[in-house]
Structure 1
């Protein structure tokens, strides 16, 4: 029971760290990009990952965690895939309207559920599907403003959905199959994610913004916000791997939509962004969906634990019965031997 309580506290801690760091970096990046005019999101992400790797390298040298050797081919492909998914998401935002980009992010949950059902034989109850549906409807109402379709943007959105879903599913399965922690996997894969974005980032940003990241005039305040963004990103990247490893890709996506609702709320209270009754209704529906999802997941988790305990108890009972049976057979053989000996003695 103590181990289970510790695990639940660890999950809650990971969820809180993910929400707090993600909301913080959104506010920081919004100030950097909107107020200070630094629009190079993909290049900034590559810097985030490089700083994350350097921080983890120092932590590993100081023995905060142990580096575990894993299959490098798997890690390299995994790192490149995650880097490509970030690039596709940024391109999708550049070639689509805000509304269609939000639809792209919403589509990640049903696609993840579909992939896990088809390829990992994972079952989702009707109650969980209903709660996810409510969540998606709420976030859609709160955040989607317009839907403008175009061929290039649609293709990029589909590629972004596919690579993001596969990358997040692999984050969970690699940690479990290779028996590595979230820190170890992030440490191994971060250099490859950073490399693919460091090379492609300036070209992607040039395509989206028509500006050159190397020609930008970096003032002290811009550099200060970039450094702050990179430091917060260490926590964001770590908590992402931690949450997916401890829960599931679907739970992480649900958490992501909670962040969307919080960002909308913070934008209204701190930045005085436009906020309508539709936003409020959408956020309330989304929160209801998240609460129901958490509740149903908790119930199913407890049922699974009870089932595992019951199975373990049955196995133990069978082993005990077998042991007692063996003892009874031995006792019967001993009694039979003593009877035969007694009969023999009486004949003598």
Structure 2
């Protein structure tokens, strides 16, 4: 029970860190791009990842965490895939209307559920699906304004959805299969993500903005906001891997839509963005859907924990009823009990 409580506290801490850092960086980047006129989002993301890697490298040198080597080919492909997904998302935003881009982000949840069901044989209850549907409807009402379709934008959106879903599923799978922490995986993959975006970022940004990032005149205020954005990004990148590793890609996407609602609220409060009754209604529906999702997930986790504890209790009862001559087998049973506890802990979504 103590291990379970610590695990739940760790999950809550990861979720809070993810929400706080993501909302902070959105507000910082919005001020940087909208108010200060720095539109180079993809290049900025490559700088985020470079600073993240340098920070983790310094932490590793200070023995704050132990680096664990992972198969180079796996990490390299994983890092490149995540870098490409960021590029496709930015291109999707550039070639589509805001409304269609929001539809692209909403489509990530059902597509992730579909991929996990087909390839990982993961089962989602009807209650979970209902809460996710309610969440998507609420976010759609709150954030989607117009839907302007075009062929190139649609293709880019599909590629963004596929690469994002696969990247997030792999983040969860690699951490569990290879027994690496979120910090270790981020440390190994960040250089490859940064490299692919550092090379492609200026080209993507020039295609979208018709401006050259290297010809931009950097004022002290712009540089200060870039540095602040990079520092916040360390927390964003770390918490992303932490949340996906401790929960699931679907839960991370649900959390992402909570951030969308919070950004809308903070945008209205701090930046005086336009806000309507439709936004309020959508946010309320989305928050209710998120609450249901959290409740149903908690209930299902309790059932799984109870189901895994039943065999453990029966083993303990059988052990107590053994004759003295069977004492030499107690050590083996204790090892089995330890493994059962470990499995029951790892089975929590």
TM range (shorter): over 0.9
> 2:124 corresponds to which residue?
124
Task: Confirm or deny that 1:182 pairs with 2:182.
Answer: yes
> 1:275 corresponds to which residue?
275
> 2:14 corresponds to which residue?
14
> 2:286 corresponds to which residue?
286
3-state SS, counterpart of residue 215 of structure 1: coil
**Pair member with larger Rg:** 1
The Cα of 1:134 is off from its aligned counterpart by: 0.3
> 2:41 corresponds to which residue?
41
- State TM-score, norm by structure 1: 0.92
Q: Which aligned pairs between 1:1-348 and structure 2 lie closer than 5 A?
A: 1-318=1-318, 323-324=322-323
The Cα of 1:327 is off from its aligned counterpart by: 5.4
3-state SS, counterpart of residue 271 of structure 2: coil
In 2, the alpha carbon distance for the partners of 1:183 and 1:327 equals 45
In 1, the alpha carbon distance for the partners of 2:325 and 2:110 equals 53
The Cα of 1:38 is off from its aligned counterpart by: 0.2
In 1, the alpha carbon distance for the partners of 2:289 and 2:297 equals 12
The Cα of 1:236 is off from its aligned counterpart by: 0.1
In 2, the alpha carbon distance for the partners of 1:130 and 1:296 equals 10
The Cα of 1:70 is off from its aligned counterpart by: 1.1
Please, what is the CA RMSD of the aligned residues? 1.3
Deviations 1:58-116 (A, max 9, x none): 00000000001111110000000000000000000000000000000000000000000
Structure 1, unaligned stretches of length 5 or more? 329-348
Deviations 1:184-240 (A, max 9, x none): 000000000000000000000000000000000000000000000000000000000
> 2:345 corresponds to which residue?
none
In 2, the alpha carbon distance for the partners of 1:88 and 1:327 equals 63
In 1, the alpha carbon distance for the partners of 2:323 and 2:139 equals 60
Structure 2, unaligned stretches of length 5 or more? 328-349
Q: How many pairs are equivalent?
A: 327
The Cα of 1:158 is off from its aligned counterpart by: 0.3
3-state SS, counterpart of residue 79 of structure 2: helix
In 1, the alpha carbon distance for the partners of 2:263 and 2:326 equals 67
3-state SS, counterpart of residue 252 of structure 2: helix
3-state SS, counterpart of residue 132 of structure 1: helix
3-state SS, counterpart of residue 65 of structure 1: coil
In 1, the alpha carbon distance for the partners of 2:196 and 2:318 equals 55
The Cα of 1:311 is off from its aligned counterpart by: 2.1
